[in-house]
């Protein structure tokens, strides 16, 4: 199984500042035939289901604010939230879908306001 | 509007059985693979099972293989999870999640149905 590890487990960021979350997979999720990274990011606010933010490591889902961006390739990825807003308080998960048996998620990163 | 509505969650004794359902609407159900993902109280996300658009190639997490069965009825726009030999560690909120038609990521999630396994 591909193990996905996020860091940090939690972080506190001041309003308007940048939050950076890292995600590392135990093996590359870059598919050479199409040069796509099979990695997604989800946001889960308290009491709500997860919401897709980013797929293919850097493609923003429709309707997601452009302050959210994804980067990285191979085994190392980053979710960046610029100009942090109060409504961005949530737990963020990365997920690999390179190996779908099984799909695996990172353990989650909790983002709070400092 | 895409909607996924789970039902069937309840309190069940260890060793018991349960069938979860997910009613889909707002999209062409048989265009998409579907999955179940669970979240234990205060914990992260764990993929449980998935099934292709035509009901083929069901896949399971090691933690549930041999005890859980995923199925779908495209005529009824519904996804199911048959859960047998339930254990305390199966206690969780169970989400139904749709796979994108262009990839394998999960683009829509239901609100979840809670399952508690307790004596």
Q: Please count the residue pairs, one from chain A and one from chain B, whose beta carbons lie less than 8 angstroms apart.
A: 60
Distance CA B24, CA B53 (A): 13
With 90 as the cut, is the pLDDT of residue B45 above it? yes
The helix/strand/coil state of B79 is strand
Residue B3 binned pLDDT confidence (cut-offs 50, 70, 90): very high
CB contact under 8 A, A55 and B46: no
- Asked if A60 is an interface residue toward chain B (Cβ–Cβ < 8 A), one would say no
- Cis link prior to B42 (omega < 30° from 0)? no
Instruction: Provide the pLDDT for residue A100.
Output: 86
Average pLDDT over residues B41-47: 97
Residues of B in contact with A97 (CB under 8 A): 103-105
The minimum CA-CA distance between B5 and chain A, rounded to whole Å, is 12
Chain B residue with CA closest to A108: the answer is B44
The full DSSP string for chain B is --EEEEE---EE-TT--EEEEEEEESS-GGGS-EEEEEE-TT--EEEEEEE-TTS-S-EE-TTTTTTEEEEEEGGGTEEEEEE-S--GGG-EEEEEEEEPSSSSSEEEE---EEEEE--
Q: Each residue of B46-104: pLDDT tens digit? A: 999 999 999 888 999 999 999 999 999 999 999 999 999 999 999 999 999 999 998 89
């Amino acid at each position: 199984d591909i193990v996905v590890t996020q860091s940090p487990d939690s972080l506190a960021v001041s309003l308007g500042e940048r939050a950076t979350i890292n995600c590392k997979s135990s093996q590359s999720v870059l598919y050479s035939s199409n040069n796509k990274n099979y990695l997604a990011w989800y946001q889960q606010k308290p009491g709500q289901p997860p919401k897709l933010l980013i797929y293919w490591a850097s493609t923003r889902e429709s309707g997601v604010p452009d302050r959210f961006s994804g980067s990285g390739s191979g085994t190392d990825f980053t979710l960046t939230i610029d100009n942090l807003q109060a409504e961005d308080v949530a737990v963020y998960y990365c997920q690999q879908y390179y190996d779908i048996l099984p799909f695996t998620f990172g353990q989650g990163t909790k983002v709070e306001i400092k | 509007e895409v909607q996924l509505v789970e039902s069937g969650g309840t309190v069940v004794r260890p060793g018991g059985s349960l069938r979860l359902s997910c009613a889909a609407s707002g999209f062409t159900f048989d265009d998409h693979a579907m999955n179940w993902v669970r979240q234990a109280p205060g914990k992260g996300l764990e993929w449980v099972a998935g099934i292709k658009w035509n009901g083929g190639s069901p896949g399971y997490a090691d933690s549930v293989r041999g005890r859980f069965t995923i199925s779908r009825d495209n005529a009824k726009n519904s996804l199911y999870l048959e859960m047998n030999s339930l254990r305390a560690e199966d206690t969780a909120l169970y989400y139904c999640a749709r796979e994108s038609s262009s990839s394998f990521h999960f683009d829509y999630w239901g609100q979840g149905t809670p399952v508690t396994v307790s004596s």
